[in-house]
Amino acid sequence: MRTALVTGATGFIGRHLVRRLREGGWRVVATGGPDTPAGEAVALDIRDRESLLALIRAKEPDVIHHLAGQSLPALAFAEAGPTLAANVLGTAVLLEAVRDSGVAPLVVVACSGTAYGASLGQEAVREEAALLPLTPYAVSKAAQDMLAFAAHRAGSVRTVRARIFNTTGPGKQGDVLNDLAGRMATLARNGVREGGMRVGNTASRRAILDVEDLAEALFLLGEAGEAAAGEAFNISAPEAVTVASLIRCLERVSGIALRPEPDPALFRPADEPLLLGDTTRIRALTGWKPRISLDSTIRHIYETVLLN
């Protein structure tokens, strides 16, 4: 049986990927905090090189899915140092541990479409575009990406760079859809059918993917093995939408009419006007394509929030 090591298995994406790997017949070794998914689970600091080295040697994974890190862009504006330490140093330590382990897994690194930054334009960005990050979070993800590229080019570690664009689903923290759905559910519980709501930038456009579709894409990249090694792959929904359109969809789902009230305090210091990735490369290699519509995802989020 093939073995997959998943770092950050307790995170939003990690939980879904662990389940998909197990469904696909992989033996999973999951690292994270005390609530790491059941099975072969290890509580581990990703920057603890010796513990990582021992774990890799003991489990001899065929694939490592590296998801551990600081995943909240807003937090990075206030705390760039910890974000860089978690994302950049954590990735460097992992790659060094793999290099020195005597084991040769494929390492799928969870990078980000935000790393394109100033290269983003009015069309879907391709993997050949330069990484020109505009925010502290995006800088940390671009550095992860470049570390993985350098390790592969040096011949020390086989890496795949998964450039993930906006992803959502029930329970995601720091997420505009879950935040909006939560506020609308509060109005619904109080019997309010209309009301004002403070919002940030509603004009920026984002391609928003369901987390289940993302887990499938990561699973397929691991399955692709050597055919994916050394490459970067965009993982993105096929179309971008505005926050204003998300609000309208939530209104239809909830039956509540909203008056968006722009609040400068909710605007980010820097914000990419369009985040949309061209997915030709991953579709050509793996046959992947999103299966879950954005309307279905929004309904799932709202109904989950309402029940809780």
Range of the domain at 257: 176-205+239-277+290-307
231 with 247, same domain? no
Q: What is the mean pLDDT of each run of 10 residues along the chain (308 residues)?
A: 95 96 96 61 85 96 97 85 95 98 98 96 96 96 98 97 98 90 90 79 89 98 98 98 91 88 70 90 98 97 92
**Whether residue 146 sits in one domain with residue 196:** no
Do residues 31 and 162 both lie within one domain?
yes
b vs e for 230-241, b when ≥16 Cβ sit within 10 Å of the residue's Cβ?
Answer: ebbbbbbbeebb
Q: Is residue 282 part of a domain?
A: no
Predicted local confidence at residue 119, as pLDDT: 95
For residue 244, what pLDDT is reported?
87
Query: What pTM value is reported for the model?
Result: 0.93
- 100 and 228 together in one domain: yes
Tell whether 112 is covered by a domain.
yes
Q: What is the total count of domains within the chain? A: 2
Residue 225's region, left for phi above 0, alpha for psi from -120 to 50, else beta, is left
Do 249 and 119 fall into the same domain?
Answer: no
| Same domain (yes/no): 160, 27 | yes
285 belongs to a structural domain: no
* Digit-coded pLDDT (tens) for 69-88: 999 888 888 889 999 999 99
pLDDT tens across 228-270, in order?
999 999 999 999 999 889 999 999 999 988 887 777 766 666 6
Residues 255 and 131 in one domain: no
Say whether both 119 and 259 belong to one domain.
no
Whether 183 and 232 map to the same domain: the answer is no
Q: Are 151 and 101 in contact (CB under 8 A)?
A: no
pLDDT at site 230: 98
Measuring CA to CA, how many Å separate 79 from each of 110, 117, 191? 20, 19, 39
The answer on 192 and 213 residing in a single domain is no
Q: What is the pLDDT of residues 2-19, one digit of tens each?
A: 999 999 999 999 999 999
> Do 84 and 121 reside in the same domain of the chain?
yes
Residue type present at position 216: E
pLDDT computed for residue 270 by the predictor: 61
What CATH number does residue 196 fall under? Answer: 3.90.25.10
Q: Are residues 91 and 196 in the same domain?
A: no
Give the C-alpha separation, 120 to 273, whole Å: 8
End-to-end CA distance of the chain: 38
Q: Could you give the angle at which helices 49-59 and 90-101 cross, rounded to 10 degrees?
A: 40
Indicate which CATH number applies to the domain containing 108. 3.40.50.720
